[in-house]
């Protein structure tokens, strides 16, 4: 529902992410309300592991949101092409984001769209939860979304796929469980190219055996996934911290199949293991948030996030941000070349385009408009950069060939002594 630009904050002197509601949604009251709700959620709820908000407002009728710039990419990038993460890396990530998720749940905020692309990393490698655009305040009436199924089918809980029921925090815990499964195995527990069939699988398909997908996982991983992806919300974990603590105990060897055992000092597997239990483990009392398994050190205190406020206007722009757009960093190339700036750098040739559309230069719009060419030409979302450059080269070659053919026809084939006009008239008549 929005486009995100990399921008520059002239007051803080740092790069930021500028999230702007798409123009086609400006007159849709539902999308405007949903975008404003994201602003309200970010304004009233802040955490060290949630993408910070610096400013928000409206410029020329267009809503925008200024967020912290995450230069480290997303979790989706790290899981691309079936890549896996070690169990300890998964626990480290959960230790980072689970307190933020629990804090949101305590305030009645349900994300409803947890997935790897919404876990972003900053330049230091710290993870942040992003995109609360379709988060839902539990106490708020569902007048914005009604019974519409919202979310990503691959990470959607069964009750979310059914629709028509009130969701609670365990919908987010299910999505977190799907992410854990994908991080540990490199594959999704349920997949279908058709989103409707995929949503039905979330409701009816049995939970796959994670040990079959990755036999190297520690004992107890199967029981953990069975509880994390339980079809009945009441059979899942109570909190994200509970999930993190349970997985950490499995990884460290302290708990196997629901029983606590003592691992050997040499790091080998315990000598006696209990048979896998089919019963759902009873939730255990929460430990203090600062304590982790096998660690006596407390977690660092949450960093202070600046209070959201609109950017102050400089002297030359007294009405900013109501009448003047935010400052967006631009390249030094001429205007008509800026859409191609990303492709002029060799590292971008193997990546997909950064611009979703091409803007036709203003002088050419009246001419091209006669042939029905729009002012903005949409690009395929998955078009790689090298293919885009190849298409441009082919178009240029086609134009050059057409010009060469015209010159050859007018000069070489024209009979001696005849003018170009007479030759063209003769060719048209015959």
Residue from 40, 81, 113, 235 carrying the catalytic annotation: 113
Residue 44's CB: how many other CB atoms inside 10 A? 11
Output the six-digit token pair for 382. 């998955």
**Residue 385 phi/psi, 5° resolution?**
-65, -40
Alpha carbon separation from 133 to 25, 112, 114 (Å, rounded): 14, 9, 11
Residue entry with tokens 């205007």: 335
Residue by residue, DSSP assigns 66-94 as EEE--TT-BHHHHTGGG----HHHHHHHH
Q: Which residues lie closer than 8 Å to 37 by C-beta, 6 or more apart?
A: 133, 135, 137, 144
Is residue 343 a contact partner of residue 388, using CB atoms and an 8 Å limit?
yes
Q: Is the dihedral of CA 71, 72, 76, 81 positive or negative?
A: positive
Output the six-digit token pair for 422. 């007479």
- How far, in Å, CA of 104 to CA of 50, rounded? 10
**Residue 59 phi/psi, 5° resolution?**
-125, 115
Per DSSP, 250 falls in state H
**Residue 4 phi/psi, 5° resolution?**
-110, 125
- How far, in Å, CA of 42 to CA of 281, rounded? 35
In the chain, the largest separation of any two C-alpha atoms, in whole Å, equals 105
Alpha carbon separation from 412 to 43, 418, 420, 427, 429 (Å, rounded): 73, 12, 11, 14, 20
Is residue 40 a contact partner of residue 13, using CB atoms and an 8 Å limit?
no
* 209 part of the active site: no
CA dihedral 130, 133, 136, 141 (to 10 degrees): 170
- How far, in Å, CA of 235 to CA of 26, rounded? 42
Residue by residue, DSSP assigns 334-383 as -GGGGGGGGGGSGGGGGS--S-SEEEPPGGGHHHHHHTT--SEEE--TT-
- State the catalytic residues: 113
């Amino acid at each position: 529902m929005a486009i995100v630009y990399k921008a520059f904050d002239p007051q803080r002197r740092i790069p930021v992410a500028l999230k702007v509601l798409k123009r086609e949604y400006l007159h849709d009251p539902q999308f405007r309300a949903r975008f404003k709700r994201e602003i309200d959620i970010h304004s009233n709820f802040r955490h060290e592991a949630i993408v910070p908000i610096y400013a928000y407002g409206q410029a020329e009728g267009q809503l925008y949101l200024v967020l912290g710039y995450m230069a480290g990419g997303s979790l989706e990038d790290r899981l691309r092409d079936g890549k896996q993460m070690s169990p300890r890396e998964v626990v480290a990530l959960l230790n980072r984001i689970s307190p933020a998720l629990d804090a949101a749940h305590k305030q009645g905020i349900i994300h409803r769209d947890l997935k790897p692309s919404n876990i972003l990393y900053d330049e230091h490698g710290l993870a942040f939860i992003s995109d609360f655009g379709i988060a839902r305040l539990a106490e708020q009436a569902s007048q914005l979304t009604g019974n519409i199924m919202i979310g990503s089918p691959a990470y959607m809980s069964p009750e979310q796929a059914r629709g028509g029921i009130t969701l609670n925090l365990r919908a987010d815990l299910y999505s977190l469980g799907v992410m854990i499964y994908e991080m540990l195995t490199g594959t999704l527990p349920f997949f279908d190219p058709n989103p409707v069939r995929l949503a039905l699988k979330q409701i009816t398909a049995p939970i796959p055996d994670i040990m079959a997908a990755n036999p190297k996982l520690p004992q107890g991983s199967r029981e953990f996934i069975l509880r994390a992806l339980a079809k009945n919300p009441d059979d899942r974990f109570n909190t994200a911290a509970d999930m993190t603590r349970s997985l950490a105990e499995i990884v460290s060897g302290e708990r196997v199949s629901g029983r606590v055992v003592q691992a050997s000092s040499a790091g080998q597997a315990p000598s006696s293991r209990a048979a896998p239990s089919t019963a759902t483990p009873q939730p255990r009392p929460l430990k203090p948030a600062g304590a982790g398994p096998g660690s006596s050190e407390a977690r660092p205190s949450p960093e202070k996030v600046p209070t959201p406020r609109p950017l102050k206007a400089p002297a030359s722009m007294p009405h900013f941000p109501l009448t003047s757009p935010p400052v967006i960093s631009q390249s030094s190339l001429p205007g008509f070349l800026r859409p191609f700036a990303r492709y002029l750098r060799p590292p971008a040739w193997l990546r997909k385009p950064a611009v979703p559309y091409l803007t036709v230069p203003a002088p050419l719009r009246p001419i091209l408009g006669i042939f029905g060419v729009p002012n903005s030409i949409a690009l395929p979302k998955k078009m790689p950069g090298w293919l885009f450059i190849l298409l441009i080269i082919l178009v240029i070659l086609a134009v050059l060939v057409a010009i060469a053919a015209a010159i050859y026809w007018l000069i070489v084939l024209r009979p001696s002594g005849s003018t170009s006009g007479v030759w063209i008239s003769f060719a048209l008549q015959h």
